[in-house]
Structure 1
Amino acid sequence: MPVAGAARYRHAMTEGDLVPDWLRLNRANWDDRVGIHSASDFYDLSAFRAGASTLRSFERAEAGDVSGRRLLHLQCHMGQDTLSWARLGADTTGLDFSEPAIRTARTLAEDTRLSGRARFVVADVHEARTALQEQRFDIVYTGIGALVWLPDLDRWAQIVASLLNPGGFLYLVELHPFSDVLGEDGRAVEHDYFDTRGLHIDHPHTYTGGPALTHTRSVQWHHPLGEVLTALANAGLRLDFLHEHDVTLFQRFPVLEQRGDEFRFPEGHARVPLLYSLRATRPDT
């Protein structure tokens, strides 16, 4: 899935207990977003059909040569990242809980003549093993803005480990949780880094702009970096690297400057991490 937009919509949040029907709310919210996203400049499906990649250069470098490798993309939304890996030669599978998103992904695969290298499955990430018939993969990839939609990272990490071949690895790229504690102007700490309670959000628009949503409610969770790393370690995965990046994909704070398809702090400005990436391997034994 793409950028969650949590920091941009802090003003719409109210703290509260975990909403019991969070999965239903989130699925309805994401189903509603698909038509808006597919028509947006943010996703620019026309450029993608013409050959554009949605992967950042550091992702291609950090993941290494994926040619001929079996890659699973969890929470793939409309499949552009999945198909970008397929363009690099991977045998890809994208999984997402939104049926409209998967329909769009399958159409994109046909339009880009990548259907031979990419298949798409409708399922919640927690049901991935059953939905994929106990298959295993060389690489499990999770892209930006995915983890905030998951309440239990220990459970998620165990699922990831179970989907990997021995010697295979998780490659994760995410919004850095430290940037979530800053206010909308990016100048001061306004939110509790260690507050991991479910946040109930009611906002009329998705992060791409466009028409109002019908299903406006969702639930998200903040996951400190230590929580992510500990969940992976508890699942038996070995951390190969953790890299923090001073770039992001959208105008998260007013001070950021756009350079190409990335947003950075201006020269001489104090920086905080905006993204992080990590690779964690399932040992051979």
Structure 2
Amino acid sequence: MDYLAINRETWNKRTEIHVESDFYDIDGFLSGNCTLNDIELSALGDVTNKTLLHLQCHFGLDTLSWARRGAKVTGVDLSNTAIDKATKFSNQTQLDANFICSDVYSFDDINNQQFDIVFTSYGTICWLPCLKQWAKVIVNSLKKGGTFYIAEFHPCYDLISGYSYFDKNQPDIEEEATYSENAGDETSKVVLWPHAISSVINALIDEGLVIEHVNEFPYSPYNCFEGLTEIENGKFALLHKEHNIPLVFSIKATKPK
């Protein structure tokens, strides 16, 4: 099974839907809105003149939001449609950015640059079968003393939705509609792997990164799952037996000098 080809086709289709959605609010972004959330903004702070690699960047709104905050950005995504859109938005906003069409693992073979920051967020690692290889790409892409940061949806949500919390050798293969409000009835095949938080942390440690902190959050900054309730502006929670379940986790790590 060529999971990359299957997922690339799905994300090419999803990109065309997403750029027309209220969920992504392209007009708002083009008029100057920042698409980043307090979770990642507070963790990474001032990025002025820092080089930043955004892995699995979709069509680049978050990447370009980092550029608006002064970073020198490179975005990578396996979807050629998404990269074409990202380049278009870079040109429209006159924000300097480099966008590369590649899956995460293959990027390691073509990249000859090291960055101050490697960033990834929200719905990324479930598309990857091997976290060890993912962590190698991160370490190889970081300068000594550089920072890796991930904000990611918490696997607890998948568990209560009927999927495995723990890693599996075989992926989950589903036919799904996308998560934006304009998805309609069209579905696409997706190939996904579960990853426990301990697996994410250990993959990074095993490749030599030093973990600075691990945080968990009782809300999602996106209303993209079934059953969420807005508890504050831009914060969406889910109760399980009258208690908030964790919906996001984050990890900040450093490559030793």
Q: Provide the TM-score with structure 1 as the length reference.
A: 0.84
Percentage of matched positions with identical amino acids: 38
Q: Deviations for 1:236-282, whole angstroms, at most 9, x for unmatched residues?
A: 1110000101111115242522532221358x941121001111111
Q: Does 1:146 align with 2:132?
A: no
Give the Cα–Cα distance (whole angstroms) in 1 for the partners of residues 179 and 197 of structure 2: 24
Could you tell me which residue of structure 2 aligns to residue 84 of structure 1? 65
**Alignment map for 1:50-69 (pairs within 5 Å):** 50-69=31-50
Match of 2:171 among 198, 207, 210: 198
2:18 is the counterpart of 1:37: yes
CA distance in 2, matches of 1:109, 1:137: 20
Indicate if the aligned counterparts of 1:200 and 1:220 stay in contact, CA closer than 8 A: yes
Q: Which amino acid aligns with 2:56?
A: Q
| Residue number in structure 1 paired with 2:4 | 23
Contact 1:123 1:131 in 2 (8 A): no
CA distance in 1, matches of 2:150, 2:165: 20
**Alignment match, 2:104:** 125
Give how far 1:143 is off.
1.1
Partner residue, 1:13: none
* Distance (whole Å) between structure 2 residues aligned to residue 148 and residue 177 of structure 1: 9
Which of 210, 214, 217 is the aligned partner of 1:245?
Answer: 217
Q: What runs of 5+ residues in structure 1 fail to find an aligned partner?
A: 1-19, 184-189
Say if 2:135 is the partner of 1:173: no
- Name the SS of the counterpart of 2:15 in structure 1: helix
Contact 1:75 / 1:94 at 8 angstroms: preserved in 2? Answer: yes
Displacement, 1:53? 1.1
Native 8 Å contact 1:74 1:142 kept in 2: yes
Q: Which has the higher contact order (CA 8 A, sep 6+)?
A: 1
Residue 276 (1) aligns with residue 249 (2): yes
Which amino acid in the other structure matches residue 178 of structure 1? C
Q: Which secondary structure state, in structure 1, belongs to the residue aligned with residue 227 of structure 2?
A: coil
User: 4+ runs of 1 displaced by more than 4 Å?
Assistant: 211-214
Amino acid at match of 2:144: P
**Per-residue deviation at 1:104?**
0.5
How far apart, CA to CA, are the structure 1 residues paired with 2:185 and 2:199? 34
What is the DSSP-based 3-state SS (H/G/I as helix, E as strand, rest coil) of the residue aligned with 1:247? Answer: coil
168, 190, 201: which one pairs with 1:229? 201
- Which stretches in structure 2 are left out of the alignment for 5+ residues? none
Aligned with 1:163 (options 128, 141, 165): 141
Tell me, in whole angstroms, the C-alpha distance in 1 between the residues paired with 2:231 and 2:21.
19
Partner amino acid, structure 2, of 1:41: D
Deviation, structure 1 residue 33: 1.1
CA contact (8 A) 1:78 1:102 kept: yes
Q: Report how far residue 111 of structure 1 moved.
A: 1.4
Taking structure 1 as reference, are residues 43 and 270 closer, same or farther at Cα in structure 2, changes over 3 Å only? same
In the comparison of the two structures, how many residue pairs are matched? 253
The SS at the match of 1:252 is coil
2:39 and 2:151 in contact (8 A); partners too = no
Counterpart amino acid of residue 27 in structure 2: S
Question: Relative to structure 2, which stretch is displaced further, 85-94 or 118-127?
Answer: 118-127
Q: What amino acid is aligned across from residue 109 of structure 1 in structure 2?
A: S
Deviation readout 1:154-180 (Å, 9 max, x if unpaired): 010011100000000111010011221
- Residues 72 and 140 of structure 1 are in contact (CA less than 8 Å); yes or no, is this contact kept in structure 2? yes
The 1:60/1:164 distance shift into structure 2, 3 A limit, reads same
Please state how far the C-alpha of 1:194 moved relative to its aligned partner: 2.1
The verdict on how the C-alpha distance between 1:179 and 1:210 changes in structure 2, with shifts beyond 3 A counting, is: closer
Normalised to the residue count of structure 2, the TM-score between the two structures is: 0.93
* Match among 263, 266, 273 for residue 236 of structure 2: 263
- Structure 1 residues 259, 121: CA separation in 2 closer, same or farther (over 3 Å shift)? same
Distance 1:101 1:236 in 2: 32
The whole-number CA distance in structure 1 between the counterparts of 2:228 and 2:133 is 37
